[in-house]
């Protein structure tokens, strides 16, 4: 069961051409294409005649022609031609879906079309900003979408799963601050006085110690903006080397998810070699995640129904996001089985401090682990005003 009243990433803009593209989103087969005039369309990938996939057909002028008996459908889903006869049956129509492009992303709305508001699209402007350079990847993950959300909300896994690229022990040793604002869950971790991650250090041309930070901003149910980077010790984040990792997570079915990944940086923007190296390095990171989540999905399917996750303090964002996702699902699917919910069978074992729920806003802080006391901020004459 999926939240349908939201924009899902269906692909990159440059993937959608006059060559029909099949995408299954939330178990719904969709065909995306452009007309010869460049108009974008998203239709049910099922011909009204006898259910042959329209994605196996071809675009002619402003219609898509079915590859079986040649029925043609316009971007509004209405049949425009039946080759074997002159009259067109009134029921010869396929469903259309609102579709929109922005900053290189293509989004589709599966729910109530009257609620498909482009103002609900997340901010992705870094992709279109010449002051930023972007690397993208697309990976089909062999797991349910929930596991990817949990993965992004609990970045302590970087210490272990990505130890040669973006990981280090200091990540799990630092505490987090979790904020909830409506349907957005943010998990912030500040790591003062640490080395830059191995994958970026060379591109950044950095040595020595910095303040590293990352904030996972989960727009429940399907999009994460990871605000990340390093800055001079004690300096404001916006002065530093900044990274925006945009993660569009699109469910295919109960055990497959499309992962659309964009990594935008504001440093080494014209450095083609750095871009090429990041492309390879980031593919490694994604492969590590994909492999881990594939086996986690198998584990989830093998474990007994009553065996639940054991959440800890660092999972505060995970727990909050699951509750919001459950609320969205309950709103759209009132009769749904509560036992199947993402949060029903889990109970965090931590004692969060400073939780101050207030309407739809709340803030939770989770202390650093015992093996790393809170680091005293050092501001040295060298670091004041330093642009790392
Ligand atoms: S199934 Fe498409 S034209 Fe017959
Ligand atoms: Fe990861």
- CATH 2.102.10.10 for the 7-119 domain, yes or no: yes
- The strands making up 256-265's β-sheet, listed across from edge to edge, are 133-141, 256-265, 241-253, 223-231, 210-219, 184-194, 176-181, 361-366
Band the pLDDT of 380: cuts 50, 70, 90.
very low
Over 277-342, what HEC string results? HHHHHHHHHHHHHHHHHHHHHHHHHHCCCCCCCCCCHHHHHHHHHHHHHHHHHHHHCCCCCHHHCC
pLDDT digits (tens, 9 = 90+) for 335-355: 776 556 666 444 444 434 444
User: Which of 31, 50, 73 to probe ligand 1 with, by most ligand atoms within 8 A of CB?
Assistant: 50
Question: Which ligand 1 atom lies nearest to the CA of residue 82?
Answer: 3
Which ligand neighbours the alpha carbon of 82 most closely? 1
Report whether the peptide linkage leading into residue 268 is cis, meaning its omega lies within 30 degrees of zero.
Answer: no
Q: What percent of the chain has pLDDT over 90?
A: 78
**Residue owning tokens 């505490």:** 175
The whole-angstrom separation of Cα 97 and Cα 113 is: 7
- The per-residue pLDDT for 341 is 65
> Ligand 2 centre from 160 Cα, in Å?
10
Can you give the pLDDT at residue 368? 78
Statement: 122-366 belongs to CATH 3.90.380.10? yes
Please state the atom number of ligand 1 nearest to the C-alpha of residue 51. Answer: 1
> Comparing C-alpha atoms, which of 356, 290, 53, 339 is closest to residue 148?
290
| CB 69 less than 6 A from any atom of ligand 1 | yes
Kindly report, residue by residue over 80-106, the tens digit of the pLDDT: 999 999 999 999 999 999 999 999 999
Token output for 198: 């191995």
Per residue in 39-67, pLDDT (tens digit) is 999 999 999 999 999 999 999 999 999 99
Reported residue count of the chain is 388
Residue 50, number of CB atoms within 10 A of its CB: 10
* Ligand 1 pocket check for 71: Cβ under 6 Å: yes
Q: Which ligand is closest in space to the CA of residue 158?
A: 2
Task: Name the closest-CA residue to atom 4, ligand 1.
Answer: 69
* Number of Cβ atoms within 10 Å of the Cβ of 340: 11
3-state secondary structure (DSSP) of residue 55: helix
Do the Cβ atoms of 323 and 288 come closer than 8 Å?
no
Residue 315 confidence (pLDDT) above 90: yes
Reading the block at residue 362, the tokens are: 């709340």
Give the dihedral sign, CA 29/35/41/46.
Answer: negative
Structure tokens at 297: 């999905």
Per-residue pLDDT tens over the stretch 215-269: 999 999 999 999 999 999 999 999 999 999 999 999 999 999 999 999 999 999 9
Residue of minimum CA distance from atom 3 in ligand 1: 69
Domain boundaries, the chain: 7-119, 122-366
Quick check: CB of 47 below 6 Å from ligand 1? yes
Judged by phi (left if over 0) then psi (alpha if -120 to 50, else beta), residue 268 lies in: left
Cα(140) to ligand 1 centroid in Å equals 29
Name which of 31-35, 96-100, 198-202, 215-219 the model is least confident about.
198-202
Burial 1-37 (b: 16+ CB within 10 A, else e): ebbbbbbbbbbbeeebeeebbebebbebebbbbbbee
Closest CA to 63 of 96, 24, 91: 96
Could you count the other beta carbons within 10 Å of the beta carbon of residue 182?
A: 11
- The ligand whose atoms approach the alpha carbon of 282 most closely is 2
Alpha helices (H) in 18-65, listed in sequence order: none
């Amino acid at each position: 069961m999926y939240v349908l009243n939201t924009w899902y990433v269906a692909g990159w803009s440059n993937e959608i051409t006059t060559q029909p593209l099949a995408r299954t989103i939330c178990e719904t087969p969709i065909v995306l294409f452009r007309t010869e005039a460049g108009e974008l369309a998203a239709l049910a990938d099922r011909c009204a005649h006898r259910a042959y996939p329209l994605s196996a057909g071809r675009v002619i002028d402003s219609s898509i022609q079915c590859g079986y008996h040649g029925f043609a459908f316009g971007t509004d889903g209405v049949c425009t031609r039946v080759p074997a006869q002159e009259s067109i049956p009134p029921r010869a129509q396929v469903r259309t879906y609102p579709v929109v492009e922005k900053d290189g992303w293509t989004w589709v709305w599966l729910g109530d079309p009257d609620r498909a508001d482009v103002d609900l699209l997340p901010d992705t402007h870094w992709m279109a900003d010449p002051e930023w350079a972007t690397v993208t990847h697309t990976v089909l993950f062999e797991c349910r979408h929930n596991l990817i959300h949990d993965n992004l909300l609990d970045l302590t896994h970087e210490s272990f799963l990505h130890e040669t690229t973006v990981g280090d022990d200091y990540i799990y040793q630092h505490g987090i601050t979790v904020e909830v604002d409506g349907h957005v869950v943010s998990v912030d971790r500040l790591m003062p006085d640490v080395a830059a991650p191995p994958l970026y250090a060379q591109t950044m041309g950095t040595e020595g110690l910095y303040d590293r930070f990352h904030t996972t901003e989960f727009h429940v149910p399907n999009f994460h903006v990871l605000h990340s980077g390093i800055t001079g010790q004690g300096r404001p984040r916006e002065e530093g080397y900044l990274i925006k990792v945009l993660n569009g997570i699109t469910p295919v079915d109960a055990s497959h998810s499309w992962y659309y990944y964009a990594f935008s940086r504001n440093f080494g923007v014209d450095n083609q070699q750095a871009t090429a190296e990041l492309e390879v390095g980031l593919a490694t990171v994604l492969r590590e995640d994909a492999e881990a989540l594939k086996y986690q999905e198998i584990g989830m399917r093998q474990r007994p129904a009553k065996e639940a996750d054991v959440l800890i303090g660092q999972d505060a964002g995970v727990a909050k996001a699951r509750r919001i996702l459950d609320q969205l699902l309950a709103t759209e699917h009132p009769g749904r089985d509560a036992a199947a919910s993402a949060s029903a069978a889990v109970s965090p074992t931590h004692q969060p401090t400073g939780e101050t729920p207030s309407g739809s806003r709340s803030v939770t802080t989770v202390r650093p682990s015992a093996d790393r006391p809170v680091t005293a901020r050092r501001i040295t004459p060298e670091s004041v005003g330093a642009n790392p």
